[in-house]
Structure 1
Amino acid sequence: MITATNVLVLLAMLVGTVGIVLPVLPGLFIVWAATLLWAVEVHSTAGWTVFWVATAIYVLGLVAQYLVPARRMRATGVDSKVIGVALVAAVIGLFVIPLVGAPIAFVGSVYVMERLKHGTHERAWLATRHAVRAVMLSMGIELLTAMLIIVTWGVGVLATRP
C-alpha cells in the first residue's frame, strides 16, 4: 500500500544506498534506520519482525564488510595500517577535490606507502590493485546488505497491508 510513510522510508533507503556508493553519508546505517522508523510507525508484530530481521542482516553485513576484504588483504600482504592511512587520505581527498578526491587519494596513498615498503613499481602496483579490489568488495557487500534490507522491508510492507 502506498502511504506517505512508505514513500518517505523508501526515499530514505534510496538516499542511504547512494550514500554507500558516494561515501558522504553513512549509507547502510540510513537504510537500517529507515526500517526502524517504519517499524515504529507501523507498530505491528510484522513491522517489528521485519525490523529485527533487518537488524540481523545489518549486523552480518557489517561483519562481512570488514572481515572478508581484510582476510584477502592479509593474504596478499597488504597491511591493515596501509588501508587505514589510505582511508583517512580518502576522506581528506574528498573535501580537497570533491567527488574524485577520495579515490585519487586512496589509490595514491596506497601506492606511495607500498612503493616505500617494497621499493619497486611492480610490487607497489600489485598491492594497490589488491587494495582497490578489497575496497570494491567491501562496497559490494555493503550494497548487497542494503538491498537485502530493502527487500525485507518490501516484504514487510506487503505483509502489513490491510
Structure 2
Amino acid sequence: MGVWQLVAVGLVMLLGLLGVLVPGVPGQAIVWAAVLWWALTDTSPLAWGVLIGATAVLLLDQALKPLLPPRRPRETGAPRRTPMLGGIAAILGFFVVPVVGAVIGYVGAIYGAERLRLGSRGAGWASVRSVMRATGYSVLVELFACLLVAGGWLGAVIWG
C-alpha cells in the first residue's frame, strides 16, 4: 500500500472520529469503512486481524449503546462547542497519553470551557456533571471505541 493511500485512510479515519462528535453523522461506520479499505488493499494477516478486532470493538459498542443514557444536548445548558471541544481534546489526549488520555482530555476540556464560561470552579464542575449526564457518557464510549480502532490501525501501520 502506498504512502498516499495510507494518508487517505488516516484522513477518512480522522473524519470518522470527528463524525462521532456531530449528531447524525455515522462516525463509527466511517472509521470501520476506513479500516476495511485498508484491509482490502493490504491483504496481510495483520490487516485482517485489525479489521476483525475493529469489527468486534465497534459491535460491542453498539451492544452497549442501549445501556447508556440517550444524547440530549439541549438539556445541558452548555453551548454546542463545549462537547465538541471535549471530543477534540479526547482525540488528542488519546495519542498523547495512550488510552487514558481520551477520558482526561474529554472531561478536562469540558471543565476548562465551562469554567471559563461560568467563571467559578463549582459552577464549572456542576456543568461538567450536567454535560456528562446529557451527552457525555454515550459520546465518550463511542469515541473511545473508535479511538481504540484508530490506535490499533495506527499501531499496525507503524510497527506491522
Distance 2:135 2:66 in 1: 10
Secondary structure of the residue that 2:25 maps to in structure 1? coil
Secondary structure of the residue that 1:4 maps to in structure 2? helix
Secondary structure of the residue that 1:155 maps to in structure 2? helix
Correspondence for 2:58: 58
Correspondence for 1:37: 37
Distance 2:132 2:144 in 1: 18
Aligned residues: 108
Tell whether 2:5 aligns with 1:5. yes
Correspondence for 1:27: 27
1:42 is matched by which residue type in structure 2? D
Runs of 5+ in structure 1 lacking a partner?
71-82, 91-102, 109-128
2:33 is matched by which residue type in structure 1? A
Distance 1:65 1:4 in 2: 35
| Deviation (angstroms), 1:2 | 7.2
Secondary structure of the residue that 1:34 maps to in structure 2? helix
**Residues 33-83 of structure 1: CA distance to partner in whole angstroms, max 9, x if unpaired?**
10011000101111101110111111112222332x24xxxxxxxxxxxx5
- Structure 1 residue runs of 4 or more that deviate by more than 6 Å after TM superposition: 129-132
Distance 1:159 1:51 in 2: 16
Q: Give the TM-score normalised by the residue count of structure 1.
A: 0.58
Correspondence for 1:144: 144
CA RMSD of aligned residues (A): 2.5
1:37 is matched by which residue type in structure 2? W
Distance 1:63 1:134 in 2: 20
Distance 2:65 2:14 in 1: 20
Going from structure 1 to structure 2, the CA distance change for 1:10 and 1:146 (only over 3 Å counts) comes to same
1:44 is matched by which residue type in structure 2? S
Distance 1:156 1:54 in 2: 12
Is the contact made by 1:46 and 1:156 (CA closer than 8 Å) also made in structure 2? yes
Correspondence for 2:47: 47
Percent of paired sites with the same residue: 34
